[in-house]
Structure 1
């Protein structure tokens, strides 16, 4: 309900520094109140917006009341509508127009006649205030003990009637079990019963979503937008690593181009170890909470490996065409962008695109695996260290 959203926004604004308990303000004829405990005696000519843990309003309001909180009690006479949401919501004063309320426990008392429609949604609904308009009640346990001048629509698991219950209009009733309705409440001829099978209701709900045509971009524009977003993300990653870990990136790049077969095999080993972490971690039972982290590690390593190998091969092509051996950061990022674009185009070629992408991932993961082994095992390949001091044009 947008009215409750407005009340919540008012709470966020008013409960800033210096408003830890409660605060209120009149602006443009409307009253705004928020805090941990809000107790307002109103004399408002306009609308009222109240939000907090405990919200209690009394007095009178000429316009609408919008209230949100854990425990909400609207006991102010209201000339307009009431919109309320909370764990417990109580309406206990006359309402000039409609009432819309949602919560775990929602109640209207004998002192709360409603001149318009009453709409209650919640687990436990108690309706005792007279209703001039129509009644809509969706709940688990619904207790009606008030006269309803208009029609009623009730969806409930359990429905009971008090001595003052009366429905002058028609009743649409949806319950799981057959409910006996006294003749004094409403004659049987004005009752329409609907099947209340919960699973069937869920199926109708799912089908209603399936039939909705969601707004979509044209297919080519959607693909291009996704490509731009992913490219910008990968370029940002490349800029970070090329700026803050340049030597490490260069070392792994050379391994990709100088020892591709060995790097490919190391990629198979490294990626297998990562995927193997998931079932192994789960089998330990105590490691179950870490399974999402293992899956996240696979995603991160897969992305970084793809990016590293694409950059390495693009640099190798640049050197083949007599490009600079030590390009600037800007040129390196251009190289990355071109490499990503070329690989993305290859994806449109059946099978070939998948093979190219997977090969790049394995090469990149292999270079990263070799880098990790160099930390655990001193100097596994001293030639690489020499290369870093005397770069070769490859």
Structure 2
């Protein structure tokens, strides 16, 4: 029976390809809310936010949407795709479903069943006469299956009767007390639990689970990159504070004088620039400008953090040594480096560190952009 699925899927794709040439043979509904009722002897296609199927169809029926429900009726091949899928009191000959959450409450699948999704639940009141092929994150099977069962997922729970052979592949596999496998059982899992009341008439084969991934090399690389990044930011803060003292002093001054304005401007620049660049990227003449905007934002983010660190360093120096003359260039560099170290340490704190770094980036970004704009305007007016 499993071999027939490929032929049926190919047939469905071929049928979809001739829609334009045979529109008269297809019933199509596309609205926000679609209700399919009545009797149909041709293919039915329904798409919308909410799709409800309760019809008698001797041909294939397709339902796609955010919420797709088959609340009754009978179908030849029933295809369901979307976010939340549910089946209740329906009788498809074959059922194919793919979505986020699948809740098969009740009904009768006369032949084969195939499903893929995040969470899949097959209740006791659902009956499958043919084979079942299931793939998902969390799989709960409580309905009787008249053929073979193949399931793969993160968590698999089987607590029903299966006439044919069963193959289970998952991280956690559990057979409940009502599980009765009349064929053989083959399982591959890290944690396999079989209830003493569960029955397996055939042979049970336990395959070797895949080895646990070794994250140690990746952790070493991440640790090395982290230390490299921190040292690079510390070194960059010293170099920028020494090479561009006027830019750092002016940026620190404007952050101290207009903190709220700089914060608002930083938010505007940080979020508006990528949005505008993304729009321009899909235009012929705007694509070069978009690339320049992305490159500028990428270049400005370390300078913005350094400007924020310089402001923090000068603030700390003035607090610790009030009334003293302005610091020398060497002292400014050291205070900036110390402030950058403080930002790096704070950045290691979960949640709080991300908030601190974002705030520092937004303050520094606005100040650097304002000072850069002022410098460009002075250069343009100088010849005049």
TM-score normalised over the length of structure 1: 0.49
TM-score normalised over the length of structure 2: 0.50
Higher alpha-carbon Rg: 1
Higher strand share: 2
